[in-house]
A = this chain, B = another copy of it.
Amino acid sequence: MTKPPWSLVVVGSVALDDVDGPFGQRPDILGGSASYCSVAASFFAAGSIKLVAVVGDDFPEAHVELLTSRGIDTAGLERSPGKTFRWAGRYADDLVTRKTLDTQLGVFAGFQPRLGEAHVGCELVFLGNIDPVLQMSVLEQVRQPTLVACDTMNFWISGKPDDLRRMLSRVDVLVINDEEARELAGVHNLVKAARAIRALGPRGVVVKRGDSGALLFHEHGVFAAPAYPLEDVRDPTGAGDTFAGGFMGYLARARDISPAAIKRAMIAGSVMASFCVEDFSLDRLRRLEMHEVVDRFRAFAELTNYEAIHL
């Protein structure tokens, strides 16, 4: 009999987004790093994902139902009086360049992640790109996780560099954008940047490069997961968090953090991200079926596999 997946606690933001781009405007849609990450992870580790976040009293119940319908434990989703965290952004026609139009912290401003008994014993921990002081407070609450991964962003790299470094010293894997990796390390070359970041603590660094795929730098060298070449990209919001969710969810299912499992998790992350961008918000993940996930794993294998070369 197959063993149940490891449990995964995801701490981050649950948000309401206003997204504008070449495929139209969508106001008040579900967003946030913890939403994307936990739903993506649920495809591999259904019933083992626990979400810790905060929303305001304006947060639609339908969004919570999406999470619970995916088997995500939302006992750690706090409801506070006030407004849910909001992000508004606009994409250029290339669907890469984006401008943040507005950020309203709302109830997130006073967020203090409080982990319950169900959370502190989780084998896997993912910390979305929230304040490194809050990320650290989560690490002080969990018991003996097998693997801790986190994300961060420019705002904290420049705003709280010391807190960020303290937190990174206790993390196993950093999952980060290429531009943020460069900023954090202070060097443009990604090989050098990853080495500098690994010297801060994380033994693995995953550099997300949008439609150029993702690179894993770890003690066994480097691994490249391609991005699937898609014909119809509608909204790239959340692709990085969805990658992280596929990555962590796969490790939970595999119950394995060996270098070989982490490489396969890179592909799982890329597979889930390739679906995320096909529609706004979590709409593609909402209607995604497992046979489609299996098919895209096969498509990824065809995308990169070639016969051995003998010279």
Contacts and interface: CB of A to CB of B under 8 A. Distances in A.
A189 interface: yes
17 contacts: A189-B233, A191-B231, A212-B213, A213-B226, A221-B302, A222-B229, A223-B302, A224-B226, A224-B303, A224-B304, A260-B306, A260-B307, A263-B307, A267-B306, A290-B311, A294-B311, A297-B311
A301 interface: yes
Contact of A231 (B192, B231, B293, B301): B192
B188 A94 contact: yes
A209 interface: yes
Contacts of A306: 223, 260, 263-264, 266-267
A82 B299 CA distance: 54
Contacts of A109: none
A230 interface: yes
Contacts of A304: 223-224, 304
Given A264-B309, A297-B309, 18 more contacts: A94-B188, A189-B231, A190-B229, A191-B229, A221-B302, A221-B303, A223-B302, A223-B304, A224-B303, A224-B304, A253-B311, A263-B306, A263-B307, A266-B306, A297-B311, A301-B308, A301-B309, A304-B304
Interface string A18-53: 000000000000000000000000001000000000
Contacts of A175: none
A166 to B, nearest CB: 28
A173 interface: no
A215 interface: yes
A93 interface: yes
Interface string A241-265: 0000000000001000000100110
A268 interface: yes
A262 to B, nearest CB: 10
A303 B222 contact: yes
A209 B44 CA distance: 32
Of the candidates A188, A209, A260, the one having the most CB atoms from chain B within 10 angstroms of its own CB is A188
Contacts of A224: 213, 226, 229, 303-304
A257 to B, nearest CB: 14
A293 B309 CA distance: 12
Interface in A259-292: 260, 263-264, 266-268, 290
Interface string A176-190: 000000000000111
A49 to B, nearest CB: 16
Of the candidates A233, A267, A304, the one having the most CB atoms from chain B within 10 angstroms of its own CB is A304
Contacts of A311: 44, 253, 290, 293-294, 297
Of the candidates A190, A191, A229, the one having the most CB atoms from chain B within 10 angstroms of its own CB is A229
A75 to B, nearest CB: 27
